[in-house]
Structure 1
Amino acid sequence: MQFNFSHRRQIFSSIYSMIRKRQLISLLVVKLILQALPMAGPFVFMILVDYVLIKGQLTYFKWVVTGYLLIYIVDSTFQAVHLQQTNKLINGFTFQLKHKIWKNILRLPADDEESGRVGELKNTMESDVDELKTYFNTQFIDYYIQWLLSIVYCVVLLCINYKLAIFSYLMIPLSFWMTKWLGKSMYSTSERYRKIWGGYEEWLSNSIQGWKEIKALNNERKQLATFTRFWGDLSVLFFRRQMYWFGNRSFISFKDFFVTRMNLYFLGGLLIMDGDLTIGSLILFMKYYEVFFGGIQKINSSDMDFSNLLPSLRRTLNLAVIPSAQPKGHKIRSFERITFESVYFSYRGSSRYVLEDINFQLRKNEYVALVGKSGSGKSTFINMLLGQYQPLKGNISINGIDYKNLDIQCLQKLFGVVIQDSLLFNMSIKDNFYIVKPNATIEEMWRVCKQSGIEEYIRAQPNGLDTIIGEKGVKLSGGQRQRIAIARTLLLDSSILVFDESTSQLDHETEKMILNTLEKLAAYKTVIVIAHRHSSIQAAHRIVTFDNGRIVKDVFRISRIT
């Protein structure tokens, strides 16, 4: 019990700010009325038995009919109000929760997003939020109302006949002990189930996206074996969870029907024979006892369900209430220089430096080429330039202001980035442009399409800019995807343009045209190119060479190489 109450308090404190207080109070009042209403039914039934059926006082019959009619009208009215209030409160709470989670997912540090958490984050956003919604409706509100009503019924039973009441209470502690014992096993099983399910979601997403590679590598059998392994583990854990729940429910039912209730009727019969109790009072007691014990059953079931939900609830709230990784600070609208001073960096869980003793200064309107073999640190350097990684040692500053003191969103607006495998969405070319610039004009789109060498292809399509390009641009060739990605970045009109092997899949003529465009842009923008091709760096004003995480050469070129 202490386990559940303490964790329920922690969860409530986490979600309190997302709850509309007036709606919550209104819903609590309506629920209390609906939960208390069943107390009236047995009382009316007792009058029917003792006064109408046994004593023959038919004048009471009209009050019995009136009582049942009023109960029906009040119950129907408040059920409708309850449905309306619940939907308003739950939907508002769910929106606030999903908004916070999505906002925090977008703000996660890059190394968190790259650490294999895609399936887990997707599962949290979809399934776990629904679990918290269920908790809010059935565990948070109903749970405490059941406790309050159980206390009220406990007092009422004592007032009807204290001897029967005390006897009926003897078995209740055993119910809670059984629930607590099974609940611990339920929690650990649910935690394992949730982790395996997150791994399955991630594997499934990757497999569907990489179906071409699976077929090309003749890997279908291995993928089928992986699917079977996942579902074998999940099925075992699901069965185990169901058995814990069934065991708790069976124990309570056996104790209630075959132990407590039979003995209560036997003891009640003895009290009626001694004149301490009437038949109507015994029926009233048993009716209230059924409601009382039904409330105890609901509390026990809620505790079991809570143990099952707790892993999902913790994960959801951890993601909903994490502090922003992007501190609010100085807003940067333009830049003159970006400076790296003795910067060291290594990835989480690794002791090896990926970047080591980096000293570098990027100036406005430079055209810089970064070269070096794969794994030399070029892409990591770019990620740090974008503010996605923080140095372990040293510092990075823009216009003399440390990155740590910046509004990181304003910093990132300075950059337009094209990576080697840029993500395109399964929508039209126009809509892919609107993603980066919602207010872009058609003229602007055609201008950047011309600069990136994709204009001719798009104009040749029957639907032009409205052409659907498929998931990740699957309907396009590699070069066409890169050119659309480049056009999309040019549309941003950012101060600093970063191209990470973005011309690697282009033919010579298209590459030459784009490089000429970059050279023109370098007259009023800063351009950074990561490249292996010699052709990609011919127009650069400066060539920076990386090797094993260090800058080993930084050459300023006086004139363009021809």
Structure 2
Amino acid sequence: MLWQLSRPYLGRLFAAMFFSLILSGINGAIAWAVKPALDTIFFKKSSGYLIALPVGVIILFLLRGVFTYLTSYLMGSIGAKIVKSLRQRIYDKLLALPLSYYTNTSSGSLVSRILNDVRIFQSTVAYTIRDFFVEGSTVIVLACVAIYRRWDLALLSFIVMPLILFSISKFGARMKKTSMNTIKLIAKITTILQETLQGIKIIKAFTMEMGMAERNEQALVDHYRNTMREVRITEFSSLMTEILGGIGTAIILFYGGHLVMTGQTSPGSFFSFIAAIIMMYTPLRRLSRVHNNFQQARNVIERIEDIVLIETEKEGGIQKENEGHIAFANVWFKYPSSENYALKDISLEIRPSEIAALVGYSGAGKSTLVDLLAGFWYPSKGNIFIDGVDIRDLSLRSLRKNLGLVSQDLILFDETVKANILYGRPDAKEGEVIEAAKAAYAHDFIMELPEGYETRIGERGVKLSGGQKQRITIARAILRNPNMLILDEATSFLDMESEHIVRKALEKLMEDRTTIVIAHRPSTVQKATRIFVMSQGMIIQQGNHEELISQGGLYRELYNLQFLDAEKVPKQT
């Protein structure tokens, strides 16, 4: 994945690698310069070299600063670009995933992956990979300097290298496991925060502030403890590198000092060697952190791939305008996580422009049936036909383009009124938006808002009343002008005044369209061409209102329980 994301920026990456090699060469040059500086100034007493030395040091450190900046800037820009592309790629993927994915994954966990996990990934690209190139090449250059100065001392100093690499590997394995727990715990914190913001009204209404605060505090404590485990692993890894490096340096000082005292090497060569070794241990210590950071990044990549590799909704299929002829033929369906069928042997036919109502107790399968019609799920057995074409053969985009939905779950976005209505048909002109709002009896209240159609309505339309939000969703459906319409208990939570206005808007919306109504109010049910009564995933009665009332059974029971008070109709026997 990292290679795929990096390919568009290979030019910058190779430039950063080139600058890191120059930076490593400068570090090697600093260690190399120690010998001529000591031998020429302190032993040969060269005043000219003494004057040139500070200038050379300034130039070397200036160049090191410049190339450090260039390397960091290039890797930082690559990291930012990759993260931008990755976040868009994940977002596009989320839009294309089937509904089944969202039933098994919390939204807080997904938000955490897009924000927190990708941020760790950015740090890996911008800093960890940079350190890998810079520190790794620096170690190689300094090792070459050390070997050139005294190969026997270099081999002696390298005795501790296998131990350092072994400790880095062991601590890296522990870091991978611990960092995965940290990522999951921060996802839990994100989920709690999102649930709190979405449910703040309920939390306050049920005085659950203390309980939610305790829940959040426990999640923070768990995250803190796991973070401290990461800190201990990282710092203990550095400690082991320091100890082993100190042991190696002590051995070298003892043996090297002996060589100087016996005249087998010059002080300049020895101190040049020591400078190279000491400068080498610092990048080695940083490489231990690089390894730990790579382990964290592996966890992030695995979690991101969990999304990227999931199969999307079906692409392609027949593109056609639908007339609205719907037929279910022996349809059975059960959710992937359930052993029981939610729908059992459903067979029905709805002709173009007919109004069909689905009634039944909660859990009867009404919403599941219309979810299948929208292509959110496919039947486990049986077939669904739209104008004689199996729904599996239709393009989902074509199917949904001809389908309008008005639900009791009012989904509005934190944008303007106009933008929310335009979700029905983004290319619609302003006049069409206004006409749709008028048809939904929404225009008058919209014009009373501070900025009219340009008024932002807040997250989920929080600045509007329930009736106003419902009329915006109806305007959206009118603008879409679909051939098929689903009304999922669209007036269930409205007061009588709002319900009366919305009902008029719905009646206008249903004109000349195939409409499926999940019934709540009696007027819509009575006007339905046919009513399907559902119980335990089956259709147990069907007919018009008068026929079903005369039959008795569940429909009349529901009518007496739910509709009688609203209509004030005497109970029939």
The secondary structure found in structure 2 opposite 1:433 is helix
- Quote how far apart the aligned CAs of 1:381 are: 1.4
Matches for 1:394-473 after TM superposition, within 5 Å? 394-473=382-461
Residue 367 of structure 1 contacts residue 542 of structure 1 at CA under 8 Å; is this kept in 2?
A: yes
Question: Is 1:541–1:558's contact at 8 Å kept on the other side of the alignment?
Answer: no
Q: 2:44 aligns with which of 38, 55, 76?
A: 55
Deviation at 1:155, TM superposition (A): 3.5
For the residues of structure 2 that align with 1:68 and 1:281, how far apart are their CA atoms? 19
Aligned to 1:4: none
C-alpha deviation, 1:463, in angstroms: 3.4
Q: Distance in 2 between matches of 1:222 and 1:307?
A: 36
Structure 1 contact 45–64 (Cα < 8 Å) conserved = no
SS at match of 1:98: helix
Is the 2:322–2:387 Cα contact (8 Å) retained in structure 1? no
Matches within 5 A, 1:295-444: 295-444=283-432
Cα shift at 1:232: 2.1
Aligned to 2:19: 30
The structural deviation recorded for 1:251 is 1.8
CA contact (8 A) 2:422 2:479 kept: no
User: Which residue is 1:204 aligned to?
Assistant: 193
How far, CA to CA, are the matches of 1:291 and 1:334 in structure 2? 73
Q: Deviations over 1:47-84 (max 9, x none)?
A: 11112221224454566456435434543543454355
**Distance in 2 between the 1:155 and 1:48 partners?**
19
Cα distance, 1:46 vs. partner? 2.0
**Residue 171 of structure 2 corresponds to which residue in structure 1?**
182
**Separation in 1, partners of 2:4, 2:332:** 37
The aligned counterpart of 1:282 is: 270
Q: Distance between the aligned counterparts of 2:385 and 2:315, measured in 1?
A: 15
TM-score, normalization by structure 1: 0.89
For residues 501-540 of structure 1, what are the structure 2 equivalents within 5 Å? 501-508=489-496, 511-512=499-500, 514-540=502-528
1:6 paired residue number: none
d(CA) in 2 for partners of 1:532, 1:345: 24
Q: In 2 relative to 1, CA 238–79 (structure 1 residues): closer, same or farther, beyond 3 Å?
A: closer
AA matched with 2:81: G
Q: Which runs of 5+ in 1 are unaligned?
A: 1-10
Q: How far apart are the structure 2 equivalents of 1:38 and 1:317?
A: 39
Match of 1:264 in 2: 252
Q: Which moved more, 1:83-92 or 1:238-247?
A: 83-92
Give the match for residue 92 of structure 1. Answer: 81
On the 8 A contact 1:518/1:527 being kept in 2, the answer is: no
Question: How is 1:544-555 mapped onto 2 (pairs within 5 angstroms)?
Answer: 544-555=532-543
Change (3 A) 1:294 1:76: closer
Q: Counterpart in 2 of 1:3?
A: none
The aligned amino acid for 2:75 is: T
Give the match's secondary structure for 2:265: coil
What residue is the counterpart of 1:228 in the other structure?
217
- Give the stretch that moved more between structures: 48-57 or 161-170: 48-57
Deviations 1:351-382 (A, max 9, x none): 11112222334443232222111111111111
Query: Shift of residue 509 of structure 1?
Result: 5.8
Q: Percent identity between the aligned chains? A: 28
Partners of 2:418 and 2:411 lie apart in 1 by 15
TM superposition shift of 1:87: 4.2
SS at match of 1:529: strand
For residues 443-485 of structure 1, the C-alpha deviation after alignment (integer angstroms, 9 at most, x for no partner) is 3233222222233323334433334433322333222221222
Q: For the aligned residues, what is the CA RMSD?
A: 2.9
- 2:466 is aligned with what amino acid? G
Cα drift, residue 420 of structure 1: 0.4
Q: Give distance in 2, aligned partners of 1:164 and 1:115.
A: 61
Corresponding position: 1:122 with 2:111: yes
Deviation of 1:32 after TM superposition, in Å, equals 2.0
1:483 corresponds in structure 2 to 471
Residue 28 of structure 2 is matched in structure 1 by 39
- Tell me the residue number matched to 1:157: 146
8 Å contact from structure 2 (residues 528, 544) kept in 1:
no
**Mean Cα deviation higher: 79-88 or 486-495:** 79-88
What is the CA–CA distance in structure 1 between the aligned matches of 2:57 and 2:523, rounded to whole Å? Answer: 90
- CA distance 1:61–1:395, change in 2 (3 Å): farther
Question: Aligned equivalents of 1:316 and 1:522: distance in 2?
Answer: 43
The whole-number CA distance in structure 2 between the counterparts of 1:457 and 1:499 is 23
Cα 1:32/1:324, change in 2 over 3 Å: farther
Change (3 A) 1:21 1:341: farther
Deviation for aligned residue 1:125: 0.8
Closer, same or farther: CA 322–135 of 1 in aligned 2, 3 Å = farther
Q: How many residues align?
A: 550
Separation in structure 2 between the aligned mates of residue 31 and residue 294 of structure 1, nearest angstrom: 16
- Contact map agreement 1:44 1:68 (CA 8 A) in 2: no
Instruction: Please name the residue that 2:561 is paired with.
Output: none
- Tell me how far apart the structure 2 counterparts of residues 29 and 190 of structure 1 sit (CA, whole Å): 32
C-alpha deviation, 1:226, in angstroms: 1.1
Deviates more, 1:491-500 or 1:512-521: 512-521
Q: Which amino acid aligns with 2:174?
A: S
Whether the aligned pair in 1 keeps the contact of 2:72 and 2:126 (CA below 8 Å) is no
Contact kept? 1:386, 1:412, Cα under 8 Å: yes
* Paired residue secondary structure (1:482): helix
Match of 1:192 in 2: 181
Q: In structure 2, what is the Cα distance between the partners aligned to 1:227 and 1:283?
A: 56
Q: Which moved more, 1:478-487 or 1:145-154?
A: 145-154
- Whether the 8 Å CA contact 2:342–2:536 is kept in 1: the answer is yes
Query: Is 2:6–2:82's contact at 8 Å kept on the other side of the alignment?
Result: no
Tell me, in whole angstroms, the C-alpha distance in 1 between the residues paired with 2:499 and 2:529: 18
Return the alpha-carbon distance in structure 1 between the equivalents of residues 336 and 113 of structure 2.
Answer: 23
Q: Which moved more, 1:349-358 or 1:68-77?
A: 68-77
Q: Which residue of 2 aligns with 1:244?
A: 233
For 1:437 and 1:288, the matched residues in 2 are separated by 68
Between the aligned partners of 1:288 and 1:401, the Cα distance in structure 2 is 76
* TM-aligned CA deviation for residue 518 of structure 1: 4.2
Change (3 A) 1:158 1:440: same
Displacement of 1:402 in angstroms is 4.0
Q: CA deviation at 1:267?
A: 1.1
CA change 1:69–1:510 in 2 (3 A) is: closer
- Give the whole-Å Cα distance in 2 for the aligned partners of 1:300 and 1:29: 23
Relative to 1, partners in 2 of residues 1:219 and 1:429: Cα closer, same or farther, differing over 3 Å?
Answer: same
Q: For the residues of structure 2 that align with 1:56 and 1:263, how far apart are their CA atoms?
A: 31
2-structure distance, mates of 1:179, 1:40: 28
1:173 and 2:162 correspond? yes
Cα offset for 1:194?
2.0
Flag structure 2 segments of 5+ consecutive residues without an equivalent. 550-566, 568-573
**8 Å contact 1:104–1:320 — kept in the other structure?**
yes
Letter in 2 for 1:555: G
CA contact (8 A) 2:470 2:502 kept: no
